[in-house]
Amino acid sequence: MDASQFAADLRGRIKAAREAYDEAEREEDFYAMDVRSGELKSLRRLASENGVDLSDNDQDHAQSVNRENGVSAADSAPADPDGPTAGAAE
């Protein structure tokens, strides 16, 4: 697989994960939001490690997801475990 195909596939996976996150958010499925947030973080890290430039739109979405999860732009730590997802499975 060449670099441009890898980048295109990665962008497609990010788009799909972002859409799944948005759907989970609409449904107020906090567990799914956490899962998709982690998936997006992992995919973005993979993009960064491989020099894949992501669109400004995706970066804006990442920042909004991070704000919702209590993560600042400079902080890569996970959200507070006692945050909005605590007790979601109860």
Q: Which helix (H) or strand (E) holds 78?
A: none
Ranking 4-18, 23-37, 67-81 by mean pLDDT, the lowest is 67-81
Interval 33-50: pLDDT, tens: 999 999 999 999 999 999
> What is the per-residue pLDDT for 3?
80
Region at 83 (left for phi over 0; alpha for psi -120 to 50; beta for the rest):
beta
Location of structure tokens 């996976």: 13
pTM higher than the cut 0.75: no
Regarding predicted confidence, which is higher, 66 or 10?
Answer: 10
Interval 51-83: pLDDT, tens: 898 875 455 555 555 555 555 444 444 444 344
Amino acid present at 2: D
